[in-house]
Amino acid sequence: MAQPVDNIPAGISDGPGVPALSKVTANTRVRATTGPIGIITDVPTFPPPTATGLWTVGTMRCRINGLPVITTTAVGIGIAVTAPTPPSTGPLRVAISDSRVRAS
């Protein structure tokens, strides 16, 4: 079943639930009403203690520029500013998505 897609930078949150400040994306072609649809190479930026994030699993069938799309079921990890062991702040999640655009 298709899931809502990521297209709002502040809709991504890290393990502690802190929303992203922005995201860097290579998707310049496919947009929804509030911004470009997220792809697996997107890099979200968070305030400390998390510095950035990395997506590891996107959609299986829907791709933009040959890269998997980020939906509410995508898997990612927050990367901390300092490097404790492990340097992760927990999983990333799409907390606020565009419910009018779906991908699977």
Q: What one-character-per-residue DSSP string does 19-56 give?
A: BPSEEE----S-EETTEEPPBTT-EEE--TTEEEEEEE
Instruction: List pLDDT tens digits, range 45-92.
Output: 988 777 889 999 999 999 999 999 999 999 999 888 776 666 777 889
Instruction: List pLDDT tens digits, range 8-59.
Output: 888 999 888 889 999 999 999 999 888 899 999 999 998 877 788 999 999 9
Domain ranges of the chain: 3-103
Which CATH entry fits the domain spanning 3-103: 2.60.40, 2.30.30, 1.10.150, 2.60.200? 2.60.200
